Amino acid sequence: MAKLRSEERVAARLPAVIPPPAATPKTEPHPHRNLDRAARAVVARMTGGVSPHSVIEAWMDWALHLSRSPGRQLELVERATQNATKLWAQTFDGIRHAEDKDCFQPQPYDHRFTHPTWDNQPFMLWKQGFLAMHDWWDAATEEMPGQSKRDADRIRFQMRQTLDLMSPSNFPLTNPEIIAETRKTNGSNLLEGAAHFTDDVIQTLTQTHKPAPKGYEIGKDLACTPGQIVFRNDLFELIQYTPQTETVHPEPILFIPAWIMKYYILDLSPQNSMVKYLVQQGFTVFMISWCNPGADQAELSLEDYRLNGVMAAIDAINAIIPDQKIHANGYCLGGTLLAIAASVMARDGDDRLASLTLMAAQVDFAEAGELLLFVDESQVSFIEDLMWIQGYLDRPQMTRTFATIRAEDLIYSRAVHRYFLGREDLPSDLLVWNGDTTRMPARMHSEYLRGLFLENRLSAGRFAVKGRVIALKDITTPLFVVGTETDHIAPWRSVYKAQLFTDSDLTFVLTKGGHNGGILSEPGHQGRHYRIGHRKSGALYMGPDAWARHHAPNAGSWWPEMTSWLQARSGGRVGPPAMGAPERGLDPLGEAPGTYVHQV
């Protein structure tokens, strides 16, 4: 008799439950509705997946509320007058001292005006005029009484995009750095830039995958920690890394990375690989390497990723290392999926997890940052129509979404350097990984956007698995939660909310850096710091800002803190396990990093 899956064994011991009432049968949509979906999908391709209805609705909300606010109108007129007065006073002030500060300052992350020639006229006037306009629109798009906060944020975001497009730094005749470089090279920078532009246009139109630059080959320079593929199904490959110590902790570590990018952000270069670091600390490490789905996998669901992904990996690890609990580590969307899987396991009495580590991962999406600006009913339906005709959300469509959040740096500054200064992108391991994007299956991405981002079901107690609602408070395993200070994808205050929705023993770390750079914080990395705090099981809740005030920063990397935390929850060291389990049908299938990581 075939061996039952662990979930089935647990379910068999549960008492019968009253089935929910049968749902009212849905009326099948008229076939002509497909014509509507196809038409919307065509528009979605033209707009990059942005719903025109959402844009128009936000502007109408802003305009109508401003029209009935005469005091606000006078305030904006006054601000425009003050900004103009400051601008012209600075321009015609005669000789300015070098230590004098400009009236209007760019944001700390905005590096478009760092070149010293921007302090010369007329470039200083153009720069200050641009920043003055930025300042006025920031005031004009502040939320008004009665106005939707989301609409106010959308208007501010859209105006920021429009102003960034018009920045004087984007044009050769108004950017002093481009002018100086053109004089220096007799115009060869513009010729080089034209060649770069042509290459990029061809790549965009043909959607060809750029090979990795020399020195950044996957499996040789990146994702190069030795290991074996010990399990494979249609959804993922499981990597077991070769031990590098004579003895290891008996509890293995399983990494669940996000499926929106390749797994090797956690095994990037040898000097900053979290996988290599943990293997060298005496842990047996496993890694899920997700497939890059195509149109034939459009019906993959979020439940498929849980059941045939996370749970299948746990089953395989249990076969390789029997009778040992697992330290599970989820990064980004992988952490959200891990929290769901852990909640289901807790509900069903499955106690195979020794601990949970959630890195830059959200369990509540009410404060999910600027990504929420792309999520409402109209927007999600628009993306669903786009995926309906493709079978997936394509790589460029996701890349544009993330790039627009930091357009001044990720789009325009890069374009200026590449097309007008004629400079090649300097290769780096993080840049190569960042360009190695994947697709998202239509059904799974729709469920993720609706169930988590749009309706926030997980923390609200409305997320059901197998017909039964799950609760994060059911999790009793220790938690190690990591947020990063400047994360614009999973803002740290949103990540911190794991403390609000769980009761188990929890350690929270807030580290310097962004969504990726804060996680890649290996020992020896210059200029790093972190805060760390411990909440005992059942302790009272402390808000994120109060928590930050009560926990002083520590210099250095947070990785040793994570290692110590894992060691304290692990048994005495033993001999390393075998690679795979041939006697249980888990023969090694090839060398790491496997085949799925190379799918394009």
Three-class SS state of 322: coil
- Residues in Cβ contact with 285 at an 8 Å cutoff, skipping those fewer than 6 apart: 240, 241, 252, 253, 255, 275, 278, 279
Residue with tokens 């106690």: 351
The structure tokens listed for 490 are: 């999973």
Distance in angstroms (rounded) separating the CA atoms of residues 536 and 213: 48
Q: What is the DSSP string of 196-219?
A: HHHHHHHHHHHTPPPPPPTT--BT
Amino acid at 270: P
What is the residue type of 18? Answer: I
Structure token pair of residue 319? 């076969």
End-to-end CA distance of the chain: 40
DSSP string spanning 498-556? HHHH--S-EEEEEESS-TTTTT---TT-TT-EEEEEEE-TTPPP--HHHHHHHS--EES
Q: Which residue, among 287, 581, 342, has the nearest Cα to 458 in the 3D structure?
A: 342
* Contacting residues for 136 by C-beta, under 8 A, at least 6 apart: 76, 79, 80, 83
Cα separation, 482 vs 360, whole angstroms? 6
Q: Residue 251's closest CA among 131, 351, 170?
A: 351
Q: Name the one residue in this structure whose structure tokens are 């394009």.
A: 600
Q: Strand, helix or coil at 353? A: strand
The structure tokens 């593929």 sit at 229
CA gap 111, 412 in Å, rounded = 11
* CB-CB contact of 553 with 530 (8 Å): yes
Residue holding tokens 């090279």?
Answer: 185
Distances in Å between the Cα of 548 and the Cα atoms of 280, 455, 492, 528, 537 are: 32, 29, 11, 16, 20
Please give the DSSP secondary-structure letter assigned to residue 1.
-
Cβ atoms within 10 Å, residue 383 = 25
For residues 88 and 448, give the distance between their C-alpha atoms in angstroms, rounded to a whole number.
Answer: 51
Cross-strand pairs, 253: 285, 327
Active site residues: 332
Bridge pairing between strands 529-535 and 554-555: antiparallel
In sequence order, what are the beta bridge partners of 328?
254, 356
Query: Taking the CB of residue 171, how many other CB atoms lie within 10 A of it?
Result: 13
Using only C-alpha atoms, the chain has a radius of gyration, in whole angstroms, of 26
- Closest Cα to residue 299, out of 451, 444, 448, 397? 444
